[in-house]
């Protein structure tokens, strides 16, 4: 486990307060008394109190960083976003404020379809540029892993374009991206009145082509009155299963369609939204180990009043994750910290549960629980450094950003030790580290 050869760690971070988010021990999995992190090859080689270090810090690593008593958490994970899209839906927001409902606007051909038109029309470079703007905001708040869905193309060419944009991001920003194919997000206009034909195209043409190109890590659908039926969703999931891709589902957001139970039947990584989740849905998710991803931004923006069954999820032992759902129609936000706050105020999660929801459980919702989501030996050296006195502060504030630094795969990418001219404009100007590795690794 721990590497005791002197000088073999590439870097060592000392004098921190670590919210490791390992379950079962102290709240937040905290190591408060001089926590230290040893890094080798982008991974954590040692996590523990400095008092237990096998040697003097300078003999253990080529590079020693003093955290000055700051709190460190795992890099945040936004496990549900629609970050790649063109245009916005501010006009639709106005219409909703004047009384039109989200469903009415969708049925009248607006909603998701209006973002589809804008996204189809956008060039790939333009789409990349607007996506990067949103991504930078997420990263500046400590995110190191982001999931991105397609679903605003609804034809093979545009779905591919969206996924290529998502896949291009890690080469230019310090982030791990997981992509999800969401062809079954809405019915495109050219299939009006023929939803089953569109599902055939998604399952038998689009998905196999996207899988063959390696553009998707998972498959999602919108199982809803204004989306697709459980039976149609099942056909998409069956196609994903044949191709060996895990599934996720937008389930029980506006009504109870039995989507979560269907997702669980396919051993889905997650079922997301869940305001209308039934007791049977909770039980099915618990049996399958499917994560409940709660999206308080969409709950707030749609002025939903029905709460997801948080107590029932807790009692059944279903892991709860929190994400931004960043999208133009129902959650135009790029702040995961704000979502932590809303998860506590609206859904009554504890700040510790909310933080676990954006770290440990979010990793699991992406199938990354073995490599991300907690500060543990062997996992990625992805962590965020915070100017806070207690980890509850991450969920406490309504806006504001106490992130003082981010380390991605062992390299400082935001904060005083990040290399000047690195990939993150949020990195503080004039703060050059003599030792930091390239952020784009």
Q: What does the binding site for ligand NIG look like in residue numbers (CB under 6 A)? A: 111-112, 115, 222, 250, 253, 298, 325, 327-330
Nearest to 299 by CA among 276, 279, 275: 275
CB of 61: closest distance to Fe ion in angstroms? 42
Cα(417)–Cα(415) distance, rounded to whole angstroms?
Answer: 6
To ligand NIG, the closest distance from the beta carbon of 396 in angstroms equals 26
Query: Shortest CA distance to 78 belongs to which of 399, 358, 421, 367?
Result: 358
**How many angstroms separate the CA atoms of 128 and 306, rounded?**
36
Residue nearer to ligand NIG on the CB measure, 180 or 424: 180
Pick what 328 binds: Fe ion, ligand NIG, none; C-beta below 5 to 8 Å, kind-dependent.
Answer: ligand NIG
CA distance 373 to 169: 20
Shorter beta-carbon distance to ligand NIG: residue 223 or 284: 223
| Residue least distant from ligand NIG (Cβ) | 329
- Residue 270 is given by DSSP the state E
Q: Which is nearer to ligand NIG, 358 or 413 (CB)?
A: 358
Q: Is 230 exposed, middle or buried (0-12, 13-18, 19+ CB in 10 A)?
A: middle
> Minimum CB separation from ligand NIG for residue 323, in Å?
10
β-strands 270-273, 291-294 pairing: parallel
Provide the binding-site residues for Fe ion, judged by CB under 5 A: 325
The residue number whose beta carbon is nearest to Fe ion equals 325
Question: 358 or 403: whose CB is closer to ligand NIG?
Answer: 358
* Shortest distance in whole angstroms from residue 274 CB to ligand NIG: 12
Q: What is the 3-state secondary structure of 332-363?
A: CCCCHHHHHHHHHHCCCCCHHHHHHHCCHHHH
Min CB(309)–ligand NIG separation in Å? 19
- Which of Fe ion, ligand NIG, none sits in contact with 424, Cβ below 5 to 8 A by type? none
Min dist. Cβ of residue 107 to ligand NIG (A): 13
Q: Would you tell me how many other CB atoms lie within 10 Å of the CB of residue 429?
A: 8
For 438, which DSSP code?
A: P
Residue 133 CB partners (closer than 8 Å, separation 6+): none
Q: Considering beta carbons, is residue 240 or 384 the nearer one to Fe ion?
A: 240
Contacted entry of Fe ion, ligand NIG, none for residue 111, CB cut-off 5 to 8 Å set by kind = ligand NIG
Residue 248's binding partner, choosing from Fe ion, ligand NIG, none, with beta-carbon cut-off 5 to 8 A by kind?
none
* Nearer CB in complex with ligand NIG: 250/364: 250
């Amino acid at each position: 486990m721990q590497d005791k050869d002197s000088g073999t760690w590439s870097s060592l971070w000392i004098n921190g307060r670590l919210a490791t988010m390992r379950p079962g021990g102290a709240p937040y999995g905290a190591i408060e008394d001089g926590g230290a992190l040893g890094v080798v090859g982008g991974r954590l080689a040692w996590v523990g109190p400095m008092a237990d270090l096998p040697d003097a810090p300078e003999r253990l690593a080529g590079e020693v960083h003093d955290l000055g008593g700051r709190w460190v958490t795992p890099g945040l994970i936004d496990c549900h976003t629609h970050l790649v899209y063109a245009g916005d839906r501010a006009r639709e927001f106005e219409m909703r404020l004047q009384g039109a409902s989200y469903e009415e606007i969708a049925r009248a051909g607006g909603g998701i379809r209006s973002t589809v038109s804008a996204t189809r029309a956008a060039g790939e470079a333009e789409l990349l540029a607007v996506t990067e703007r949103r991504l930078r905001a997420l990263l500046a708040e400590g995110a190191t892993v982001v999931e991105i869905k397609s679903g605003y193309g609804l034809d093979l060419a545009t779905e591919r374009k969206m996924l290529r944009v998502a896949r291009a991001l890690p080469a230019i920003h310090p982030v791990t991206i997981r992509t999800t194919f969401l062809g079954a997000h809405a019915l495109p206009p050219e299939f009006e009145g023929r939803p089953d034909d569109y599902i055939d195209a998604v399952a038998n043409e689009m998905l196999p082509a996207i899988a063959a190109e390696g553009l998707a890590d998972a498959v999602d659908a919108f199982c809803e009155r204004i989306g697709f039926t459980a039976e149609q969703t099942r056909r998409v999931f069956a196609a994903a299963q044949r191709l060996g891709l895990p599934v996720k589902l937008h389930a029980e957001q506006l009504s109870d369609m039995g989507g979560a139970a269907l997702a669980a039947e396919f051993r889905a990584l997650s079922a997301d939204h869940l305001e209308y989740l039934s007791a049977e849905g909770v039980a099915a998710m618990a049996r399958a180990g499917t994560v409940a991803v709660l999206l308080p931004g969409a709950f707030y923006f749609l002025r939903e009043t029905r709460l997801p069954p948080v107590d029932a999820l807790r009692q059944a032992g279903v892991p709860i994750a929190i994400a931004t759902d960043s999208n133009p129609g129902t959650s135009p936000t790029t702040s995961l910290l704000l979502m932590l706050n809303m998860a506590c105020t609206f859904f009554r999660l504890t700040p510790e549960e909310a933080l676990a929801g954006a770290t440990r459980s979010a990793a699991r919702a992406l199938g990354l629980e073995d490599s991300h989501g907690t500060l543990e030996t062997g996992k990625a050296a992805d962590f965020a450094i915070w100017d806070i006195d207690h980890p509850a502060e991450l969920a406490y504030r309504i806006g504001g950003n106490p992130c003082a630094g981010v380390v991605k795969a062992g390299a400082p990418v935001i904060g005083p030790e990040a290399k000047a001219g690195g990939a993150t404009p949020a990195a503080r100007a004039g703060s050059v580290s003599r030792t930091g590795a390239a952020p784009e690794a």
